[in-house]
Structure formats: C-alpha cells, structure tokens
Amino acid sequence: MKHVIAALCLATSAHGACPPPPDIAAEEARLLAEVRVAPNERAARVISDRMWALWAKAPDAKAQDLLDRGMSARRVADYATAWDAFDALTRYCPDYAEGYNQRAFVAFLRQDYEAALVDLDLAIARSPNHVAAIAGKALTLIGLKRDGEAQRVLREALALNPWLAERRYLRDLDEREL
C-alpha cells in the first residue's frame, strides 16, 4: 500500500500539483513538549532549530526549491525576489503553512503588517502549533498597535515555547486591555 501511495504522490507531483505537506504533527508535539521543559535557553534553541527543520521540509522538490530560493533572497534583503518565490510557493502548495509564514515575514520586514497578518492567519490555520508563526503574529499585532491582542497572542506562543526571544515583549496587562 505504501508503494501505491508513493507512486500516486510522485505522479501527482510530476503533473504539477503539490502533494500534501508532510505530516509533522507527532514530531512537532514531541518537540513542543521537550522545549517546555528545556533547562535553559541554549537547550531550547537546539529544540527550536529542530522545529524549524520540520516546518521547512517542503512537500516536494519544486516546493523546497521555491522555499529555499525565497529564504536565500530574504536573507540578503532581496524582498521582491523573496516575495515572488513565496507567492509562487503558496500558489503551488496552498496547504503548506511555511509558504505563508515566510511570505508574512517578508511583508513584516516591508512593514506591510496587514498583509503579514493575513498570511500568518493562513499559516496558523494550516499548522495551529507553528509557534514561530504565532509569535510572528504577536509582533505583527504590535506593529499594528493592537497591543492587547498582541499580548494575548504572545502568551499563546509562550505557552508553546516559553524560551522564545519574543518574550521580552511580554508585559502585564490591565484587565481592560485584555
């Protein structure tokens, strides 16, 4: 049966349709449980890097190439090329969360917070425990000056990974702000 499924996935990929994203739920849950009890920030960073490796495993070679191309362009601040690559990735693989998360990051860097928020919501809808997308949403809400909402979302992210660097934005809120 596995061979039939693999053959169908290869045939689908060869015809231009993106295969389903890899099922990372069990490994992601295991890593999230591990990071919550990490003894220190350094240990948590190693676990977070393993989460990033999961999220950045695209459904097929074409999707991986688009993701890698976009991330390389973003690293050198070539936001137009990065946007185009991530836009192509989200069109090709509309069920793959990381395409939206990365496109949101480019929008955030451009200070287009509204566009970033839309893509972050799309990423989170596809990967509800994508702690980086959730933290990114909190930062985007801060950029939009929606501080009460940002604090709630930041708390959601920190419940998943208490070692996030974004924890420095956490503040005690008056009940009226919540």
Axis-axis angle for helices 97-109, 79-92 (nearest 10):
160
Which domain does 104 fall in, by range?
21-177
Residue 15 included in any domain: no
Q: Which residues contact 110 (CB under 8 A, 6 or more apart)?
A: 79
Determine the Cα–Cα distance for residues 98 and 74; give it in Å rounded to an integer: 14
Residue 7 included in any domain: no
Determine the Cα–Cα distance for residues 105 and 31; give it in Å rounded to an integer: 23
Assessment of whether the complete model's pTM goes beyond 0.75: yes
Residue 41 included in any domain: yes
Residue whose pair of structure tokens reads 């425990």 in the numeric block: 129
Instruction: Name the token pair of 8.
Output: 């169908």
CATH number at 69 reads 1.25.40.10
State how far the alpha carbon of 117 is from the alpha carbons of 3, 46, 59, 77, 98, in Å: 40, 27, 24, 20, 14
DSSP string, 74-119: HHTT-HHHHHHHHHHHHHH-TT-HHHHHHHHHHHHHTT-HHHHHHH
Residue 111 included in any domain: yes
Residue 2 included in any domain: no
Residue 66 included in any domain: yes
- Walk along the chain (178 residues) and give the pLDDT tens digit of each residue: 444 334 344 434 444 799 999 999 999 999 999 999 999 999 999 999 999 999 999 999 999 999 999 999 999 999 999 999 999 999 999 999 999 999 999 999 999 999 999 999 999 999 999 999 999 999 999 999 999 999 999 999 999 999 999 999 999 754 443 3
Structural domain total, the chain: 1
Determine the Cα–Cα distance for residues 59 and 126; give it in Å rounded to an integer: 14
